Structure 1
Amino acid sequence: MPSDPALIEIPLFPLATVLFPGGQLNLRIFEPRYLDMIKTCSRTGQFFGICLILEGEETGLPAAPAAIGTFAEILDFRMGEDGLLQILVAGRQRFRVEQTRIRSDGLILAQVQAWSESSPLAVPVEYSVLQQIAGRLLEVVDEPAAEHPHADLDDAERLGYRLAQWLPLSDGERQQLLEQTEPLQRLHELTCLLPRFQKD
């Protein structure tokens, strides 16, 4: 896990989705620039960065990524039945993009500043309904339980991340929650969104 306050350079994988620390994504890789990136990261153990696309597409010309993203660690990879590489990644730490350059093959390389995560913070009683909702979602979400044990739901930051990843939110809402620096404010914003999911 990057911890040096100095800038570090990582490859970016702009996507039309948001990855949170502790969350997981299954990705299908077919463009040469990303196949090379995955090969290098697998060999060296280096993380790459996932950022929400603000402008452009996932394929073709390099897309414009959001300034705040998440380090992605490769957990597993295999060849799918369609012959494409499939990888499972886990979100680790957030980062801020300070500067980018585009390699000749179209891969975006970024100088990033790793963000320190908050110290453990118990979930206040007024947000216990969020713990209950996350507990129910935990039973049906398609992720290995080891990545989000029940103990995570007792921590304000991790609870916020889990709900932001699992609830059917827009990409813009998820990105706003990712960029939120105060865990309790993130829980407040999630609470304000709950009426949308309540049945009449």
Structure 2
Amino acid sequence: MSFLPLFPLNLVVFPHEDLNLHIFEPRYKELINECLDNQTTFGIPTFVNNKLAGYGTEVHITQLSKRYGDGRMDIKTKGLRIFRITDFQNPIDNKLYAGGEVEFIDNDDLNEAVNPFLLSLIDRLYVLLKIKVDYNKPDYQPFSYRVAHKIGLSVNEEYELLTVASEIQRQKILIAHLERILPIVSEVERTKDRIAMNGHFKEFDALNF
């Protein structure tokens, strides 16, 4: 077991992910200043459905980008390891912020193979949306974590992904999500095209009957 100061947020942070934060609350200014002074890490557990869900990601501060006159800060962080909270204290004794005993979760992220069907579904989504998203980051990171924020998952769905230790299983979850939303996205795009054509001169192929 390890003890971490905790900074709950209504978002999911994945290992290896870069996250920029603006720190303004007194309790989190205290937390971040202590992490900077002692070169220690802190945890970002996901706060979802108005409750602390139980899993989160340990992060370390990679840069203090700006410190304001009133004590506010802009910091850059990077995700490290996934944890599960076993004992939550809010606040920690003699501190403004929360903390807790955590258990770090083993992850089989050494398997970086990507399911070709998953890739095809992602490509189809981006074609439908007419957008280009670069998810091939050069630094090491499991593929499911690289694309999780880029395919329309809800916070609840991203949190489910965070609790799954197997990269193969995470990719199966992403496939199921894309198979569910692609027909909806396709119909929305067709509807947009029909609306855009309204009032324009139309040319139809001759009907053979």
1:94-113 equivalences under 5 Å are: 94-102=82-90, 103=92, 104-113=94-103
Q: Calculate the TM-score normalised by the size of structure 1.
A: 0.75
RMSD over aligned CA atoms reads 2.7
* In 2, Cα distance between equivalents of 1:21 and 1:80: 26
Task: Report the CA distance shift for 1:130/1:120 in structure 2 as closer, same or farther (over 3 A).
Answer: farther
Q: How many residue pairs end up in the alignment?
A: 174
Match of 1:149 among 124, 138, 163: 138
The offset of 1:130, in angstroms, is: 6.2
Offset from partner CA, 1:16-45 (integer Å, 9 cap, x none): 111011112211111111111111111222
Q: Calculate the TM-score normalised by the size of structure 2.
A: 0.72
Partner secondary structure for residue 19 of structure 1: coil
Match of 2:75 among 87, 109, 113: 87
Partner secondary structure for residue 31 of structure 2: helix
Partner of 1:69: 56
Structure showing greater radius of gyration is: 2
Match of 2:120 among 121, 126, 129: 129
Q: State whether structure 2 residue 34 is matched by structure 1 residue 46.
A: no
**Higher deviation after alignment, 176-185 or 122-131:** 122-131
The offset of 1:55, in angstroms, is: 5.5
Q: State whether structure 2 residue 175 is matched by structure 1 residue 175.
A: no
Structure 2 unaligned segments of length 5 or more: list them. 127-131, 188-209
Is the 2:56–2:84 contact (alpha carbons within 8 Å) kept by the matching residues of 1?
yes
* In 1, Cα distance between equivalents of 2:152 and 2:118: 19
Offset from partner CA, 1:145-189 (integer Å, 9 cap, x none): 9xx31764xxxxx10111113332211011001111221111111
Matched letter for residue 137 of structure 1? V
Q: State whether structure 2 residue 28 is matched by structure 1 residue 34.
A: yes
Partner of 1:59: none
Task: Report the CA distance shift for 1:137/1:150 in structure 2 as closer, same or farther (over 3 A).
Answer: farther
- Of all paired residues, the percent bearing the same amino acid is 27
Task: Report the CA distance shift for 1:106/1:65 in structure 2 as closer, same or farther (over 3 A).
Answer: farther
Structure 1 unaligned segments of length 5 or more: list them. 1-6, 57-63, 140-144, 153-157
**Higher deviation after alignment, 89-98 or 111-120:** 111-120
